[in-house]
A and B are shown apart, each in its own frame.
Chain A
């Protein structure tokens, strides 16, 4: 009963904040709404017995990634004109996009409601998971079965760091030449 109530409240908060992200004109308000969306999704992860994923969601998504977003928004310091300009160049854009979005919701809903999920039943029902501990299981899987993707992830992050530095550095050299 408590679980259903918590799910309903959190899903309503999630959906309304997600709509807030889309319709807000000021990017900083969108960022704040997005942080709230991520925190309420973390609560849903706890309801789904994924406690470690919930903690990482709050720390990495709401903490790290959104801080980068807010940092960039503050750094660019957009003025009102640049936010409002060319907003109504395509008059049919908004109705068409909302119609397509509703069609997408209906399609996903039909697929989710009708499909029968069949696959190999895993060996970690919630009772077993509670006994061993979610974090311990995640660590075990990450360093045994998924060790190769885990190492490839480090290469991806390395490439992202180099890419960010290259993109930021090129500009400075150009300005010095001028």
Chain B
């Protein structure tokens, strides 16, 4: 008996939702970034599942591009967090709402 591919898709949906809830709940900019990585992982799982379902390789190739974008985003985002921490000595997003209004 093999696992229905719908289960993988539902798991990827759950992962994406947990990441979205984490972005909404947390105040620490670093943890918010980790939750974004969690959401990207959920999307990657959906890509690989669709590739398996359609007997195609294209979904797996897209995962590599998503990973590259995730790496670039992590590097630039963490550089911004370090620059913010040097200026304001905090990573709490409540204290960094200068551009909010």
Contact = CB atoms under 8 A, between A and B. Distances in A.
Interface string A59-95: 0110011001100110110100011011101000110
Contacts of B95: 86
* Range class of the B interface residue count: 35 or more
Given A44-B45, A50-B48, A142-B61, A3 B13 contact: no
A89 B94 contact: yes
A97 B21 contact: yes
Contact of B35 (A22, A93, A98, A113): A22
Interface string B17-46: 111111011111011011101100100110
A73 B85 CA distance: 11
B35 A108 contact: no
Contacts of B64: 53, 56, 138, 142
Interface in B31-78: 31, 33-35, 37-38, 41, 44-45, 48-58, 60-61, 63-65, 67-76, 78
* Main SS at interface, chain A: helix
Contact of B8 (A48, A96, A101): A48
Interface of B: 1-3, 6-11, 13-22, 24-28, 30-31, 33-35, 37-38, 41, 44-45, 48-58, 60-61, 63-65, 67-76, 78-83, 85-87, 89-92, 94-95
A65 B50 CA distance: 25
Interface residues of A, number: 90
A109 B61 CA distance: 25
20 contacts: A22-B21, A41-B15, A45-B48, A56-B64, A65-B37, A65-B71, A68-B78, A73-B30, A85-B92, A104-B13, A104-B16, A117-B53, A121-B55, A124-B56, A124-B57, A126-B55, A159-B72, A160-B71, A161-B75, A163-B79
B17 A101 contact: yes
B49 A122 contact: no
A158 to B, nearest CB: 10
